[in-house]
């Protein structure tokens, strides 16, 4: 059945429609693959019974002629999405064995579209991290290996389990979330497509909050077309989220096949930061050439405040997180440490429940919001954020899309950066600016490094112009013809 796990979502959709195989066949094949690949630690909770039940229900729907756009498609769900009756932990000890009595809007939308849930995927604790090493359930192993070097590599993060599962053919697609690059960076490290929609396109209701003004859910797939199909099912206005955009969800898939002729694509000179691998800089130029050859006009643009995006992000995100994570106090759900007295219980529970990186960010957040520091740090960051957003707005007066690399480097080895926070934060230097501006962005695999690791290209477009984003990504995907797959899955 291995063939079934190699399908794209679009192919599976056709195969299911033609009756070539059933949803149960697809689910069984993926459950098998999922169980065989446990060494990757991509899943923190496998839900095979649920998957088979979903699949049978899907086959029944199809017989009755009521199949949805994702009917019978086996997906993996990041453990940040609250799933009714299914343990949800954000991969933190502090949520302990929390079982939500509710379903997040995005996963509910996926279910309504007929998707089959295989399980909950591993991630950096509370989505804070770029290597999946901050997970309470241990690191995820990147299915890719450097040629001639068997050291386990990180899959990136925070959506590392989702990226690894898609790359290792353990699911046809996965739901991820992206706050500063948590979908796009792991997608680049694992050689898959990862897309972050415009802020407000997907509801945040029922997604464990990290940084409310930045968090967005998005699809992780093996092709751009699959991303359009999956996003179409995930997105939509939700009155339960005050920041959800009350705007119709277009048929993203319909945007494909139009090419990029006549589009203006900007190359921001400031993104050529030192620290970008030569191979990646070269791939970036290559990408520009591919788009030029496809009929796009390549324009140099300037985004001078780009270099301040990362420090801005590391004030705003921790500030919001320090408040968002205050609810994990051992009173109503999750971990509660024995203690003598209330104050002792708070400190013992939160001290034991949060990992080092989460603790670090909560403390940074509390610090930048505390009396006497608010203006100097938080308010200052909000102003710089405005300047960065304005800069993008100005750039999009000249161009329709912006092309950059996704990450300055390819996947690194476990343990390489976990002890150096700043070094780790630099992973997001190229993805964070679009997050601060709330813009849609996508990473797609466009080539391999000299030692055989996938490298990603990154496209950004105007708010709510996902159509153009997918058009440019498809054009790059076609030109790159990236077919490599990770070698031996462990």
Partner 1 sequence: MTVDKSTVVRIAQLARIRVPEADLEALAGELDQIIGWVEQLDEVDTEGVTPMASTADAAGLRWREDKVDDGGQPDKVLANAPESRDGFFVVPKVIE
Partner 2 sequence: MSLIEGRTGEWEIVIGLEVHAQVMSDAKLFSGASTAFGAEPNTQVSLVDAAMPGMLPVINGKCVEQAVRTGLGLKAKINLVSVFDRKNYFYPDLPQGYQISQFSDPIVGRGDVVLDMPDGSTRTVELTRIHLEQDAGKSVHDQDPGHTLIDLNRSGVALMEIVSEPDMRSAEEAAVYVTKLRSILRYLGTCDGNMEQGSLRCDANVSVRKPGGELGTRCEIKNLNSIRFLREAIQYEARRQIDVIEDGGTIAQETRLFDSDRGVTRTMRSKEEAHDYRYFPDPDLLPLTLTQDFVDRLKAELPELPDEKKARFMADLGLGEEDAGVLVAERAVAEYYEQVAEGRDGKIAANWVAGELFGALNRKGIDITETPVPAARLGGLIDLIADGTISNRIAKDVFEDMVETGRDAAAIVEDKGLKQVSDSGAIETVVDELIAGNQGQVDQFRGGNEKVLGWFVGQVMKATQGKANPKMVNEVLRKKLAG
Q: Which of residues 263-322 bind partner 1 (CB under 8 A)?
A: 305, 308, 311-312, 314-315, 322
Say if strands 297-301 and 193-196 run parallel, antiparallel, or are unpaired: unpaired
Tell me: does residue 331 bind partner 2 (CB under 8 A): yes
Tell me: does residue 95 bind partner 2 (CB under 8 A): yes
> Which residue of 18, 64, 150, 242 would you call a contact of partner 2, by CB under 8 A?
242
Q: Are 177 and 149 in contact (CB under 8 A)?
A: no
Which one of partner 1, partner 2, none is in contact with 294 (Cβ closer than 5 to 8 A by kind)? none
Which one of partner 1, partner 2, none is in contact with 327 (Cβ closer than 5 to 8 A by kind)? partner 2
Stretch that binds partner 1, among 47-55, 73-81, 331-339, 408-416 (CB under 8 A): 331-339
Tell me: does residue 350 bind partner 1 (CB under 8 A): yes
Stretch that binds partner 2, among 56-64, 95-103, 255-263, 405-413 (CB under 8 A): 95-103
Q: Are 381 and 316 in contact (CB under 8 A)?
A: yes
Among the residues of 113-210, which ranges form H helices?
Answer: 160-167, 184-190
CA distance 187 to 319: 27
State in angstroms the smallest separation of the CB of 204 from partner 2.
7
Stretch that binds partner 1, among 67-75, 156-164, 380-388, 464-472 (CB under 8 A): 380-388
Instruction: Identify whether 307 is a catalytic site residue.
Output: no
Tell me: does residue 91 bind partner 2 (CB under 8 A): no
Tell me: does residue 327 bind partner 2 (CB under 8 A): yes
Tell me: does residue 218 bind partner 2 (CB under 8 A): no
State in angstroms the smallest separation of the CB of 317 from partner 1.
11
For the chain, report the end-to-end CA distance as a whole number of angstroms: 19
DSSP per residue over 199-224, as a string?
TTSS--TTBPPS-TTT-EEEEEESSH
Tell me: does residue 198 bind partner 2 (CB under 8 A): no
CA distance 127 to 414: 17
Instruction: Identify whether 264 is a catalytic site residue.
Output: no
Task: Extract the runs of DSSP E, i.e. beta strands, from 97-168.
Answer: 116-121
What angle (nearest 5°) sits at the alpha carbon of residue 256, between those of residues 255 and 260? Answer: 95
Residue 145 or 350: the one with the smaller Cβ distance to partner 1 is 350
State in angstroms the smallest separation of the CB of 232 from partner 1.
21
Map residue 234 onto helix, strand or coil.
Answer: helix
Map residue 265 onto helix, strand or coil.
Answer: strand
Tokens representing residue 479 in the block: 């030109």
Q: Is 41 left (phi over 0), alpha (psi -120 to 50) or beta?
A: left
| DSSP state at residue 308 | G
Footprint on this chain of partner 2 (rule: CB under 8 A): 82, 88, 90, 95, 98, 100-102, 104, 204-209, 211-213, 239-243, 319-320, 322-323, 325-327, 329, 331-333, 342-343, 346, 366, 369-371, 374, 378
Active-site positions read 78, 158, 182
């Amino acid at each position: 059945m291995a063939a079934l796990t190699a399908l794209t979502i679009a192919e599976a959709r056709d195969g299911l429609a033609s009756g070539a195989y059933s949803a149960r066949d697809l689910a069984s094949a993926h459950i098998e693959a999922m169980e065989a690949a446990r060494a990757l630690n991509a899943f923190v909770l496998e839900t095979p019974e649920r998957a088979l039940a979903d699949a049978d229900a899907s086959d029944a729907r199809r017989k009755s002629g009521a199949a949805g756009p994702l009917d019978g498609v086996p997906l993996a769900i990041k453990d940040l999405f609250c799933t009714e009756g299914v343990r949800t932990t954000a991969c933190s000890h502090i949520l302990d064995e929390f079982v939500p009595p509710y379903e997040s809007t995005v996963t509910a939308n996926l279910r309504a579209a007929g998707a089959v849930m295989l399980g909950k995927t591993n991630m950096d604790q509370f989505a804070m991290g770029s290597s999946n090493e901050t997970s309470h359930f241990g690191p995820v192993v990147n299915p890719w290996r450097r040629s001639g070097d068997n050291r386990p590599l990180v899959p990136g993060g925070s959506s590392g389990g989702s990226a690894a599962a898609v790359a290792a053919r353990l699911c046809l697609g996965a739901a991820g979330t992206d706050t500063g690059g948590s979908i796009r960076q792991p997608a680049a490290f694992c050689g898959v497509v990862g897309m972050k929609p415009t802020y407000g396109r997907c509801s945040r209701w029922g997604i464990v909050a990290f940084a409310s003004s930045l968090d967005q859910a998005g699809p992780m797939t093996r092709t751009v077309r699959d991303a359009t199909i999956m996003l179409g099912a995930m997105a939509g206005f939700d009155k339960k989220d005050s920041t959800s955009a009350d705007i119709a969800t277009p048929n993203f898939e319909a945007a494909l096949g139009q090419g990029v002729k006549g589009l203006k694509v900007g190359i921001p000179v400031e993104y050529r930061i030192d620290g970008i691998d030569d191979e990646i800089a070269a791939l970036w130029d290559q990408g520009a050439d591919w788009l030029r050859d496809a009929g796009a006009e390549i324009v140099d643009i300037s985004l001078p405040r780009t270099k301040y995006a990362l420090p801005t992000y590391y004030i705003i995100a921790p500030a919001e997180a320090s408040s968002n994570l205050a609810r994990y106090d051992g009173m109503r759900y999750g971990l509660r440490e024995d203690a003598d007295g209330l104050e002792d219980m708070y400190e013992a529970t939160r001290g034991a429940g949060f990992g080092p990186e989460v603790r670090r960010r909560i403390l940074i957040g509390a610090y930048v919001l505390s009396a006497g520091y608010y203006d100097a740090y938080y308010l200052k960051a909000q102003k710089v954020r405005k300047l960065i957003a304005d800069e993008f707005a100005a750039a999009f007066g000249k161009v329709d899309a912006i092309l950059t690399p996704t990450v300055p480097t390819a996947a690194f080895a476990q343990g390489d950066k976990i002890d150096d926070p700043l070094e780790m934060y630099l992973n997001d230097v190229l993805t964070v600016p679009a997050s601060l501006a709330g813009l849609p962005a996508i990473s797609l695999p466009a080539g391999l490094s000299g030692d055989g690791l996938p490298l990603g290209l990154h496209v950004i477009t105007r708010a709510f112009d996902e159509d153009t984003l997918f058009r440019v990504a498809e054009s790059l995907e076609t030109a790159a013809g990236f077919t490599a797959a990770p070698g031996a899955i462990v």
